[in-house]
Amino acid sequence: MIFREVVCETGGVNDHSPYTSAVSAGRPHEPGDPVNTAIELSTTYRASGDRRYARSGTPNWETFERVLGELEGGEAVAFSSGLAAMSAVLHLAPGGGTVAASDRLYVGTNQLLGDLEASSRLRVRRFSKPDDPVLAEADLVIVEDPTNPGLERIDVADVAAAAPGIVVADNTIATPFGSRPLLLGADVVVHSATKFIGGHSDLLMGVVVAADTDITNRIRTHRLLHGAVPGALEAFLATRGVRTLGVRMDRAVANARELATRLDGHPKVARAHWPGVGALVALQLNGDVVETDAFIDRLELWTHATSLGGVESTIERRWRWADEGPHVPVGLVRMSVGIEDVEDLWADLVDALG
């Protein structure tokens, strides 16, 4: 049963800077309206109006979608998590179709691809460079720039130019303040809004953005029928989070760049890599895994925890996850740099390095 979709204004690029779009897009604008879309928890609506049932749309998702649509330059569809958004996107490939996946994808995306391959839903082929011939044959291509957790770069424009199929860019790490893949030729952008967009480690959400309305209609239908819808409270909080994304990224990116430069010159550090975009740093110490774990344990200001993109700085050695890929070095430490004072973050690192 398909409910008629609630008609909402589409997103799309205008001539505002992303700093302005993040703050101004999607706000109610009639006289007497609240400045922020009120949290709307009702699941159903009195008959004969535009809205009917909350699985097909709520005011809080739509506000969030307007902001993300304007930031990425397309029309946005919100999901209950980043992986739910990725799952919907993978359903754009036909049954038995071929997905060309970068060999450096987020571990959860790799597991999802493995699951769909095991059930013969998709064929998965891996690539590492934009000149790989598999790009020309694939129905759908998935890429992350920079990659998670190694923070390698891959040129999304080159991948898009080589791939006639649907090109999907996971833009979680760069954020729209670091990269706008739709403007580089990608067809679809996916975010885990759990990370930088939400920004406070207090909600799970995902979003798909595309410029082609055929794609966004299929994604919206998938959400309606498979049901991976976000809650109204999460959408409200994610909207509140994205309002400050520009200033948070400016600060976090500057901190990450500065800390990577200082760490790279430290005698206990083998390599500290900041990829030139985003607020993550990939760190490898000169010591073994035991020494690396002891360093993490000695930190006081940095929180030892997974996930990334919060205002607070977090750190973890990725190999504590059994499913992390074979290309990830056992000693690789991923730092998600927050917005604290960089001197306090540095002092804690220096103390723990010893």
Ligand X SMILES: *Cc1c(COP(=O)(O)O)cnc(C)c1O
Using CB under 6 A as the criterion, which residues of the chain lie in contact with ligand X when the complex forms? 81-83, 106, 108-109, 144, 148, 170, 172-173, 192, 194-195, 204, 206
Strand duo 333-336 + 280-285: pairing = antiparallel
Q: Which is nearer to ligand X, 56 or 102 (CB)?
A: 102
Catalytic residue among 104, 170, 317, 334: 170
The CA distance from 2 to 236, in Å, is 26
Phi, psi angle pair for 192, to nearest 5°: -85, 105
Catalytic residue among 104, 106, 223, 317: 106
∠ CA 54-57-59 to the nearest 5 degrees?
100
CB of residue 184 to ligand X, shortest distance in Å: 17
At a CB cut-off of 8 Å and minimum separation 6, what does 315 contact? 296, 299, 302, 303, 304, 305, 333, 334, 335, 336
At a CB cut-off of 8 Å and minimum separation 6, what does 173 contact? 144, 145, 146, 147, 148, 151, 195, 196, 277, 278, 280, 308
Q: Which is nearer to ligand X, 25 or 207 (CB)?
A: 207
Which strand (E) or helix (H) includes residue 97? strand 97-102
Q: Which is nearer to ligand X, 154 or 352 (CB)?
A: 154
CB of residue 142 to ligand X, shortest distance in Å: 10
CB of residue 148 to ligand X, shortest distance in Å: 4
If you ran DSSP here, which 8-state letter would residue 184 be given? G
55 is known as an active-site residue:
yes
CB of residue 340 to ligand X, shortest distance in Å: 21
Taking Cα atoms as reference points, which of 84, 93, 75, 81 lies closest to residue 5?
75
Catalytic residue among 66, 104, 180, 195: 195
Residue showing the smallest CB distance to ligand X in the complex: 82
170 is known as an active-site residue:
yes
The CA distance from 249 to 140, in Å, is 30
Which strand (E) or helix (H) includes residue 233? helix 232-242
Q: Which is nearer to ligand X, 295 or 317 (CB)?
A: 317
CB of residue 149 to ligand X, shortest distance in Å: 9
Contact call for residues 191 and 68 (beta carbons, < 8 A)? yes
Q: Which is nearer to ligand X, 83 or 252 (CB)?
A: 83
Kindly list the catalytic residues. 55, 106, 170, 195
